[in-house]
Amino acid sequence: MASLRLTAACPDRVGLIAAVTRFIAEHGGWITEAAQHSDPTSGWFFMRYELRADSLPWDAQGLRAAFAPLAREYAMEWRVSDAGVPRRVVLMASREPHCLADLLYRWRSGELPFDLPCVIANHPDLAEYAAAYGVPFHHVPVGRSEIARREAFARVRELIDRAEADTVVLARYMQILPPALCEHYAGRIINIHHSFLPSFAGARPYHQAAERGVKLIGATCHYVTADLDAGPIIEQDVVRVQHDDSVDDLVRLGRDVEKSVLARGLRYHLEDRVLIHGNKTVVFS
């Protein structure tokens, strides 16, 4: 059934839910899913409504225009989206295939509904994975010098813009994005980091975990910011490890967690279930 989604965040106050639901009801809107959260620490209120599209007199654009006065009255940060219009997602990878292969499968099978215009990688190793699914593959090597990096990421931005991407997913793309790129696509770049952040940020987290002797390792799906591995967290999970597990064992166990965490985090993002507030998120999972 076709549906429209309304998400909003604003300073909390009495009558907020009543005002929004009254607006929906007065125009014949049928709410099929509703979620709210009041944060007493920040004093903010978060909401997500899914509405039957055929119950309203407008499409998504019309709903935006009609809801705008109420949103201004309550100083909302808000969004209306049409659930029937797939997001355009660009996948980026390096040499590790597991996350890319998993997302390609979920895309082709229809489990994760999005449009996939291309895959971008800084190594050519995974071209065969994209080719197997008929997806254009762009190899953009990233050199070590500042000039080479600047040229490479200018090309990356060109490809993303040409693809008209709504979302960029770093499926184990082992490069640090320049701050300008992070800011330009703020809230639209999703990364999978192979540790339970904030523990073991940066490079070689499985080696760090092995050296520390932890009993749990994990993975973190988060939005990318200019601060390395410190963006708002969308989803996390862990797996238990033993004292006699080697680093290779940790890598093997961690890969399964990485795939599932990234897929869940991307699903929440595509379904407008994630509201960013500062460096935190509210996730209506």
What is the residue-level pLDDT of the chain in tens, covering all 285 positions?
899 999 999 999 999 999 999 999 999 999 999 999 999 999 999 999 999 999 999 999 999 999 999 999 999 999 999 999 999 999 999 999 999 999 999 999 999 999 999 999 999 999 999 999 999 999 999 999 999 999 999 999 999 999 999 999 999 999 999 999 999 999 999 999 999 999 999 889 999 999 999 999 999 999 999 999 999 999 999 999 999 999 999 999 999 999 999 999 999 999 999 999 999 999 999
- CA 164, CA 113: separation in Å to the nearest integer? 17
Residue whose entry in the numeric block shows the structure tokens 């399964």: 256
Answer yes or no: 229 catalytic: yes
Assign 209 to helix, strand or coil.
helix
What is the pLDDT at residue 1?
83
pLDDT for the residue 42: 95
- Reduced to 3 states, what is the DSSP secondary structure of residue 49? strand
**Which of 229, 237, 248, 272 is an active site residue?**
229
In 3D space, the residue among 35, 45, 16 whose CA is nearest the CA of residue 283 turns out to be 35
Quote the CA–CA distance of 145 and 155 in Å, as a whole number.
15
Residue 183: per-residue pLDDT: 97
Is residue 205 within 8 Å of 195, Cβ to Cβ? yes
Those residues with Cβ within 8 angstroms of residue 21's Cβ, 6 or more apart along the chain or in another chain:
31
Q: Is 261 exposed, middle or buried (0-12, 13-18, 19+ CB in 10 A)?
A: buried
Assigned token pair, 55: 């119950």
Query: Per the structure block, which two tokens stand in for 18?
Result: 């009543």
Output DSSP code: residue 88: B
Query: What is the model's pTM?
Result: 0.96
Instruction: Give dist(CA 2, CA 250) in Å, integer.
Output: 43
